[in-house]
A and B are shown apart, each in its own frame.
Chain A
Amino acid sequence: MEIKYILDIIYLIASVTFVLGLKMLSHPDTARKGNIYAAFGMTLAIIGTIFLYNHSDGHTTREPIKIILILAAIGVGTVAGWFTAMRVQMTKMPELVSLFNGMGGACAAIIGLMEYEHNLGQTGALTTIIAGLIIGSVSFSGSIIAFLKLNETMKKPIRIPKYNILNTVVMIALVLFGAYIVYAQPEHLFLVVLLFVFALVYGVLFVIPIGGADMPVVISLLNSFTGLAAAFGGFLYQNQVMLTGGILVGSAGTILTLAMCKAMNRPLSNVIFGAFGGGSAAGSGAEVNGSIKDISISDTAILMNYAKKVVIVPGYGLAVAQAQHVIHELELLLEERGVEVVYAIHPVAGRMPGHMNVLLAESNVSYDKLVEMEDINPQFATTDVVLVVGANDVVNPAAKTDPSSPIFGMPILDVENATNIIVNKRSMNAGYAGIDNLLFYQPKTSMLFGDAKGVLAKLVTELKQM
């Protein structure tokens, strides 16, 4: 019995669990199981590789020290990964996904750096190595920038003049540089390391001009990049599990990216090349007429108490303020008094599609209270009070009326059809896309300034006394 066949079968099983896992992840009932299946397959593949893998040239050796090092590295990664994942707050999930994605990219890039010397003279192998190295590095540095942006460490999109042209030039130069290395095959690693650094710089340039609101799309795109980088590694080693895993994520990730773009009604090219909130924002800001109207907590409480139907529009501000629990409390209180309360969920509310669902589920809001955009929009006409908490761009009428607006064409929640609109915001700062919102100036709209958690808690107290 050949030991190699056992590993081949392990890889086959792992590949099947990946396909099954992805399939099950796209249905709410089976999603959790699907994730566990894929994790199981991954564990098998890792253990199998450590103990059964043998390179065809017989390079492979298993001195105890190497096995100990590998197991130690896995131990360190497991402890760090597990604790970060378990400790992090739900609101921080998107940046965490981005960070882990970057780790995978870096791993692929290091493999490329290390394998280069061993494959001199083989053009085919070198091509896959260099491609994996470039894509992995871009994915790594891009993910780190995306992480910093979501983290709000890096707040404003940074735009070097003519960045579109600059980025395109850098990208072409990067590809040519890579091609040159494959062609010339320099024996010294210096040029390869230079290529690595150059790819890192491109990753930064690629993500840095893109606005924070578009980060989910960028992360999803970088996610499929890392998949591709893993697949190149699989090609190099003729390793089926890396190949299937990598390509699956590459193609599924691309589809997911496009689905996200569709939810925002913007083509992908627009996300990458279109300046979100650039000069046009300033232009539309000038047309603002009408004035901002304040409302007090007690007036809000009265308004809600006597309403028949209240629709809550949650946005990322709700998540930042950690107000998902207190809003659930408000919902229950109002329902006790016979007010119908539902949540209007815009597909891209929060930092990632589905982000609001995850957050509200965390505070035990029941599923059927979360109404998707297409279903809630016709209901606004019969709604007495809309409470917008920390959302901005998803209720901005400019998406419908102002062709010069960067979000023009994005489907929005038609809150302006409701009788009263109350908007809770921390300040008059523009939303995540960096553009002004005419909704705030409408006569039906009142502003309830303050931190979402504090304001909602006061509202709950006020309502209890009524």
Chain B
Amino acid sequence: MNQLLNFLGENIQMIYIIILSVFVGVEVIGKVPAVLHTPLMSGANAIHGVVIVGAIIVMLNTPTDNILALALGFVAVVLGTLNVVGGFAVTDRMLEMFKKKK
């Protein structure tokens, strides 16, 4: 119990961010027309590619003599980049097609 309280107390700012972000996420896409469901999903998909920041941090914290960890980190950064770059590029391509019509 004490441990849990300590954990919550030490991370209270993070917990604020989480709760507020949940509401922002819900509000922000409130009434999206069905037409935009696919691009929106694709755009959100690109945004969670932010996990790449974690992969970079792991690599920065790894000592250079730990080859296995560096290799794993390398793979993680490649995968994260694929998510980010591919995600944003695909979304842009989809939306480009909508634009032409206006």
Most buried by B among A25, A53, A106, A220: A25
Given contacts A19-B24, A25-B39, A26-B40, contact A354 B34 (CB under 8 A): yes
A18 to chain B, nearest CB (A): 5
Q: Which residues of A contact B28 (CB under 8 A)?
A: 19, 22-23, 26, 248, 252
Does B32 count as interface, using CB distance less than 8 angstroms?
A: yes
Q: Which of B24, B25, B53, B87 contacts A49 (CB 8 A)?
A: B53
A309 CA to B99 CA, complexed, in Å: 28
A76 CA to B95 CA, complexed, in Å: 25
Given contacts A81-B84, A354-B37, A372-B34, contact A251 B56 (CB under 8 A): no
A181 to chain B, nearest CB (A): 17
Q: Which of A74, A136, A238, A256 contacts B44 (CB 8 A)?
A: A256
| Inter-subunit contact A65/B64 (CB<8 Å) | yes
Given contacts A46-B52, A251-B25, contact A53 B60 (CB under 8 A): yes
Q: Which of B61, B74, B75 contacts A59 (CB 8 A)?
A: B61
B93 to chain A, nearest CB (A): 6
Most buried by A among B29, B38, B72, B93: B38
Cβ < 8 Å to B, chain A residues 119-169: 123-124, 136
| Inter-subunit contact B95/A49 (CB<8 Å) | no
A61 CA to B57 CA, complexed, in Å: 10
Does A434 count as interface, using CB distance less than 8 angstroms?
A: no
A13 to chain B, nearest CB (A): 13
Interface flags for A211-233 (1: CB within 8 Å of B; 0: not) read 00000100110011011011101
Interface flags for A46-90 (1: CB within 8 Å of B; 0: not) read 100110010100011111011001101110111011101110101
A264 to chain B, nearest CB (A): 11
Q: Which of A103, A238, A245, A352 contacts B50 (CB 8 A)?
A: A245
| Inter-subunit contact B55/A251 (CB<8 Å) | no
B-side interface residues, number (CB < 8 Å) = 83
Does A390 count as interface, using CB distance less than 8 angstroms?
A: no
Q: Which residues of A contact B47 (CB under 8 A)?
A: 18, 21-22, 38, 42, 227, 245, 248-249
A78 CA to B79 CA, complexed, in Å: 10
Does B35 count as interface, using CB distance less than 8 angstroms?
A: yes
| Inter-subunit contact B97/A97 (CB<8 Å) | no
Cβ < 8 Å to A, chain B residues 40-86: 40-64, 69-70, 72-86
Most buried by B among A72, A237, A252: A252
Q: Which residues of A contact B55 (CB under 8 A)?
A: 107, 110-111
Given contacts A21-B47, A73-B74, A358-B98, contact A61 B82 (CB under 8 A): no
A168 to chain B, nearest CB (A): 26
Given contacts A223-B48, A226-B51, contact A247 B74 (CB under 8 A): no
Q: Summarize A's interface: helix, strand, loop or mixed.
A: helix
Q: Which residues of A contact B38 (CB under 8 A)?
A: 93-94, 97, 216, 352-355, 358
Q: Which residues of B contact A362 (CB under 8 A)?
A: 97
Q: Which residues of A contact B34 (CB under 8 A)?
A: 259, 263, 347, 353-354, 372
Does B14 count as interface, using CB distance less than 8 angstroms?
A: yes
Q: Which of B51, B74, B76, B101 contacts A246 (CB 8 A)?
A: B51
| Inter-subunit contact A256/B37 (CB<8 Å) | yes
Given contacts A38-B43, A110-B55, contact A352 B37 (CB under 8 A): yes
Which positions in A face B, CB cutoff 8 Å?
14, 18-19, 21-23, 25-29, 31-32, 34-36, 38-39, 42, 45-46, 49-50, 53, 55, 59-63, 65-66, 69-70, 72-74, 76-78, 80-82, 84-86, 88, 90, 93-94, 96-97, 99-101, 103-104, 106-108, 110-111, 113-115, 118, 123-124, 136, 216, 219-220, 223-224, 226-227, 229-231, 233-253, 255-256, 259-260, 263, 347, 352-355, 357-358, 361-362, 364, 366-367, 372
Beyond contacts A61-B60, A100-B86, A238-B14: 16 other A-B pairs, Cβ-Cβ < 8 A, are: A14-B50, A21-B43, A25-B29, A31-B98, A34-B43, A35-B92, A100-B87, A100-B90, A123-B3, A230-B50, A246-B48, A249-B44, A249-B45, A250-B25, A259-B34, A354-B39
Which positions in B face A, CB cutoff 8 Å?
3, 7, 10-11, 14, 17-18, 21-26, 28-64, 69-70, 72-102
